[in-house]
C-alpha cells in the first residue's frame, strides 16, 4: 500500500477506545499511533492515566473510589488537549486512551468531536475468555508505571477491584442501539470483530491495521547477514557469498539464538531471496521463510560498485543521495521509500506472528527498525546497524525495549557517513549524523 500523505486534510479522526482495565487499550493506542506515523500521518495518543499520573504521581494515594470518580476530570482535560492539538498542530488522528465505559461520557465526547468536524471512530476491546483476562492483568501488572513499585499480588488485587468498579456503569457497543455510530468491536481480540459504518479511506486503513495485530507478548530478533565478499570489498548490492568470518557468524548463530530465545521456545526465521541471508541462516534449527520483499534495496546501475566508484562515475547521483537519502532512488533501482512500500506485507505479517528472527540487509533492517522504534524519515536511512550483531526488540504497551547482542566475530564496517565515500563510523560525534540505534539500550555479552 502506498504511503498515504495527501488529501487527508478533510478527514480528521478521533479514535475513542472503550474497555475495562486490562483489555490492551494502551497497547492498541500506541500501536495505531506508531503505524500511522510510519505512514507519515500525524497521530497522537492522549492517555487519561498519564494525566492522573502528572497530578498524583505514580504511587496512588487516592482511594479506589476517589480515583474512579476523579477519572471523568481527566477525560475533559484530555479531550480539550486533543482538540487543541488538532487545531494547532494540524493533527490527523487523535486517540483517546481510556476506559470511556459509560454511554453518557461517550456521547459527550462525540458531541465535542462533531462540533470540531472530527469524525469519531469507537474502538472497543471486549474479552469474555477468563484466561485472556488473567494474562492481560499479569501483563499490566509487570509493565504499567502505576505498579512498578508495588507488590505484584497487591497490584493484581488493585486491577481486579478496578475492573469490578468500572463494570457498574459499563455499556458495551451494540449493533442495534449504536447502529449509526462508526465503530469496531473486537471480541477476544480477533476471535470475532464487528465493523460498523466505516466511511472514509483512512478509517478503513486503521481498521485494516487493527485486524492484523495481536497483543500477546513476543520478541522480534533482527540480524544482518554475515559479512559477505562484497562487504570485504566495499561493494554494495549484488548477490555475493559469505566471507570466512561471515560463515563463522552463521555457525555461531544457532548457539547464540538458542541461548537467547530459550530451548523450548518456538521461532520462525525469515530471510530474503539473496544467497547471503540463506547462508547465514543455514545452521539454524528452525522453520525458515524466504521473502522477496526482504531483498536489499536495489541499487540499480550502481549494483556491485563501491561508493568510491559511484562518486567517480555518477557524481551527481552520489550527491543527490546524500542530500535526501530517504527519497533518493538509484537509477534503475529503489529508494528507501520504495522499500517501505514493498515491506508493507512483511510488517503486517510480522504484527500477526509471535517470535520471529529476521535475517536481512542493512537498508531493509533500517526500515523495519524505524517502524518499531518510531524513527523519523530523515534519520532512519542514517542509522548504524553493524554486522555480526543480533538486535532484540520487545514491543510492550508503553514502549519497545531494545537490546543488542554482539557475536564477537570481527567484521568490516559498512557504514557510510554523509558527504564521504569512505566507509567506517567516525569517532567524532559532533560531525556525525549517526544515530546510534541503541543509545539507551543494554549491551549484553555472551
Partner 1 sequence: MSKEPTPNTAVTMVKDNDPINNNYGSQEVAIEAPHLPGNYSARTSNKWMINDSTTVSSDSLGRGETGEKVSSLQKDEIHSKVSPFKVSPGQLYSTDSGSLFHAGKLLICLTGLPGRGKTHMSVSLTRYLRWLGVSAQVFHFDDFRRQALKSNEISPSFFSQKPSDLEISKIKETVVETCLNNIEDFLLKNNGQVAIYDAINGIAKNRIELQERFNKLSVKVVFIESLIENDNLLANSLKDAIKSPDYEGYDSDEARKDFDKRVESASDSYEVINEVDPTESMVLSYIKSINFGERLVLNRSQYGYLLNRMTFFLLNTRIKKGSIFFARCGDTGNHKNLLFKSDPSLTEKGKAHSKVMMNTLVKLLMNNRNIKESEINKKLMVWTSTRTRTIETGSVFQETYDIQVTQRSEMNQLNPGNIETLTREEIKYKFPIEYDLFKKDPYHVRFPRAESYHDLAVRLEPLILEMERNTKNILIIGHESVLRVLYGYLLNCSSNDIPYLKFPPEEIVEVQYNAYANTSSRIKITEKRT
Q: Is 141 annotated as a binding residue?
A: no
Min dist CB 144 to partner 1, Å, is: 27
Q: Is 225 annotated as a binding residue?
A: yes
Helix, strand, coil percent content, the chain, rounded in steps of 5: 45, 20, 40
Q: Is 383 annotated as a binding residue?
A: no
Q: Is 62 exposed, middle or buried (0-12, 13-18, 19+ CB in 10 A)?
A: middle
Min dist CB 413 to partner 1, Å, is: 18
Q: Is 229 annotated as a binding residue?
A: yes
Q: Is 56 exposed, middle or buried (0-12, 13-18, 19+ CB in 10 A)?
A: middle
Q: Is 205 annotated as a binding residue?
A: no
C-beta closer to partner 1: residue 146 or 296: 296
What is the Cα–Cα distance from 104 to 149, expressed in whole angstroms?
A: 35
* 175 SS3 class: coil
At residue 251, what are phi and psi to the nearest 5 degrees?
Answer: -75, -30
Question: Is the CB of residue 11 less than 8 Å from the CB of residue 41?
Answer: no
Question: Is the CB of residue 110 less than 8 Å from the CB of residue 120?
Answer: yes
C-beta closer to partner 1: residue 217 or 254: 254
Min dist CB 423 to partner 1, Å, is: 17
C-beta closer to partner 1: residue 56 or 283: 283
Residue in 146, 296, 317, 322 annotated catalytic: 296
Question: Is the CB of residue 224 less than 8 Å from the CB of residue 23?
Answer: no
Helix pair angle (130-143, 152-167), 10° resolution: 120
- Is 296 part of the annotated catalytic residue set? yes
- Indicate left, alpha or beta for 374 from its phi (over 0: left) and psi (-120 to 50: alpha): left
Residue in 49, 97, 158, 178 annotated catalytic: 97
Q: Is 419 annotated as a binding residue?
A: no
- Is 322 part of the annotated catalytic residue set? no
Min dist CB 363 to partner 1, Å, is: 14
C-beta closer to partner 1: residue 14 or 41: 41
Residue in 158, 178, 225, 317 annotated catalytic: 225
- Is 70 part of the annotated catalytic residue set? no
Min dist CB 210 to partner 1, Å, is: 10
C-beta closer to partner 1: residue 212 or 403: 212
Catalytic residue numbers? Answer: 97, 225, 296
- Residues in the annotated binding site: 224-231, 276
- Residues in the annotated binding site for substrate: 224-231, 276
Amino acid at each position: 500500500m502506498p504511503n498515504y500523505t495527501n488529501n487527508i486534510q478533510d478527514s480528521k479522526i478521533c479514535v475513542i477506545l472503550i474497555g475495562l482495565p486490562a483489555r490492551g487499550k494502551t497497547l492498541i493506542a500506541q500501536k495505531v499511533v506508531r503505524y500511522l506515523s510510519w505512514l507519515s500521518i500525524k497521530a497522537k495518543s492522549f492517555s487519561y492515566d498519564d494525566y492522573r499520573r502528572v497530578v498524583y504521581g505514580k504511587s496512588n494515594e487516592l482511594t479506589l473510589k476517589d480515583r474512579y470518580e476523579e477519572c471523568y476530570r481527566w477525560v475533559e482535560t484530555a479531550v480539550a488537549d486533543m482538540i487543541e492539538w488538532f487545531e494547532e498542530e494540524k493533527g490527523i488522528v487523535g486517540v483517546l486512551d481510556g476506559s470511556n465505559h459509560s454511554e453518557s461520557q461517550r456521547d459527550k465526547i462525540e458531541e465535542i468531536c462533531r462540533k470540531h468536524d472530527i469524525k469519531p471512530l469507537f474502538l472497543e476491546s471486549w474479552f469474555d475468555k477468563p484466561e485472556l483476562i488473567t494474562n492481560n492483568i499479569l501483563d499490566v501488572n509487570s509493565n504499567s508505571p502505576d505498579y512498578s513499585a508495588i507488590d505484584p499480588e497487591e497490584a493484581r488485587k488493585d486491577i481486579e477491584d478496578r475492573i469490578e468498579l468500572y463494570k457498574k456503569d459499563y455499556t458495551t457497543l451494540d449493533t442495534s442501539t449504536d447502529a449509526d455510530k462508526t465503530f469496531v468491536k473486537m471480541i477476544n481480540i480477533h476471535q470475532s470483530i464487528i465493523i460498523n459504518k466505516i466511511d472514509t479511506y483512512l478509517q478503513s486503513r486503521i481498521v485494516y491495521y487493527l485486524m492484523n495485530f495481536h497483543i500477546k507478548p513476543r520478541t522480534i530478533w533482527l540480524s544482518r547477514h554475515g559479512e559477505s565478499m562484497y562487504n570485504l570489498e566495499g561493494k554494495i548490492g549484488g548477490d555475493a557469498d559469505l566471507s570466512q568470518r561471515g560463515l563463522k557468524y552463521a555457525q555461531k548463530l544457532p548457539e547464540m539464538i538458542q541461548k537467547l530465545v530459550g530451548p523450548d521456545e518456538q521461532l520462525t526465521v525469515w530471510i530474503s531471496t539473496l544467497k547471503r541471508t540463506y547462508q547465514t541462516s543455514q545452521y539454524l534449527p528452525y522453520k525458515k521463510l524466504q521473502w522477496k520483499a526482504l531483498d536489499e534495496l536495489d541499487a540499480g546501475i550502481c549494483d556491485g560498485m563501491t561508493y568510491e566508484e559511484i562518486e567517480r562515475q555518477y557524481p551527481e547521483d552520489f550527491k543527490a543521495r546524500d542530500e535526501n537519502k530517504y527519497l533518493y532512488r538509484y537509477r534503475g533501482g529503489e529508494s528507501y521509500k520504495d522499500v517501505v512500500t514493498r515491506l508493507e506485507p512483511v510488517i503486517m505479517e510480522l504484527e500477526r506472528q509471535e517470535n520471529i528472527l529476521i535475517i536481512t540487509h542493512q537498508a531493509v533492517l533500517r526500515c523495519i527498525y524505524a517502524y518499531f522504534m518510531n524513527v523519523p524519515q530523515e534519520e532512519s536511512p542514517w542509522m548504524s546497524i553493524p554486522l555480526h550483531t543480533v538486535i532484540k526488540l520487545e514491543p510492550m504497551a508503553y514502549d519497545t525495549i531494545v537490546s543488542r547482542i554482539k557475536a564477537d566475530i570481527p567484521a568490516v564496517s559498512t557504514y557510510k557517513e554523509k558527504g564521504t565515500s569512505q566507509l567506517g563510523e567516525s569517532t567524532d560525534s559532533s560531525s556525525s549524523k549517526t544515530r546510534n540505534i541503541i543509545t539507551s539500550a543494554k549491551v549484553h555479552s555472551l
